[in-house]
Amino acid sequence: MSYIKLFSGTNSKYLAEKIANFYGKQLGAVTQQRFSDGEIYVSFDESVRGYDVFLIQSTFPNADNLMELLLMIDAARRASAAYVTVVVPYFGYARQDRKDKPRVPIAAKLVANLLSAAGADRLMTCDLHAGQIQGFFDFPVDHLDGAAIFIPYLRSLNLENLIFASPDVGGVARARGFAKIMEVDLVLCDKHRKRANEIASMQLIGDVEGANVVLVDDLVDTGGTLCKASQIIMDKGAKSVRAICTHGVLSGKALDNIENSVLTELVITDTLPLKQESPKIRVLTVAELFAKAIRKLQDNDSISSLFII
């Protein structure tokens, strides 16, 4: 008898079904409804007593996705689940991970506290905005690396004179990891922001003359940073520039920005649902990566083999 059950939140079912398929199980039955005033109601339609329960739900806006996940955790805990693991492919509110000015919240820590208070025993996620966010949790965190998806794809392109680039100082470690595994050079775009989603200035540090450049970031929101960085890189003599970002938030005028940019392509994963298709956007799935991680967790195996950086 298998003592594991997989359940999905409403807006991550498209990905949860693929994860369950790779794992070899059907998603469990759960009812998600709303009262007439919009209040969320959750009910498991099968027993979870004594089971290891995996709840799959990204916490992207609006906040209903997070609230639904919290209710699912509480319901599973009150139904005597043995162990509750929240599988959050995209961990929302991660960009607010420190006090960068007075009188602002640390939202990532708040969400960590909420998950803990609801009764979660473990978190499985992918490419947090900052790795140190793992320290906000008082239970184990399995932090999967999107590089396991992107590196094989980049190798399949057989790009000559490849160089990786970080669109800002904060992403240098991530881009350096890619450059190290591919044994190529790294350049940096140094940007200064006026405010969120608005760049004041940017300059390139490094030589990209004649190179095929790959920008690396954890997420793409409006696309402003990537588009500006790609234009600067091409102006400096690069042969081509493409971007890889794990989480395709793509809000506001992001699609227009991407389509009107000099980017050859934007490669993202399906941690978030794609709002609109574009010939410049390629989506790779993280379903198999998460399914393998869940399998190893159940078998008490190390997940180290899933990391290539």
Known binding residues for ATP are: 37-39, 95-96
- The rounded Cα 6 to chain-centroid distance in angstroms is 20
Catalytic sites, residue numbers: 191
- The predicted model scores a pTM of 0.94
Percent share of the chain, pLDDT over 70: 95
From residue 100, alpha-carbon distances to 96, 105, 130 in Å are 9, 10, 14
> 110-143 b/e with 16+ CB inside 10 Å = b?
ebbebbbebbbbbbbbbbbbeeebeebbeeebbb
The pLDDT tens digits of the residues spanning 48-76 come to 999 999 999 999 998 999 999 999 999 99
Mean pLDDT of 252-256: 94
For 106, counting Cβ atoms within 10 Å of its Cβ (0-12 exposed, 13-18 middle, 19+ buried), the class is middle
* pLDDT at 1 > cutoff 50: no
Mean pLDDT of the chain: 94
Output the six-digit token pair for 15: 């990905």
Known binding residues for Mg(2+) are: 129, 168
Domains and CATH numbers, the chain: 4-145+288-306 (3.40.50.2020), 147-284 (3.40.50.2020)
The pLDDT tens digits of the residues spanning 166-189 come to 998 888 999 999 999 999 999 999
The pLDDT tens digits of the residues spanning 14-51 come to 999 999 999 999 999 999 999 999 999 999 999 999 99
* pLDDT at 196 > cutoff 70: no
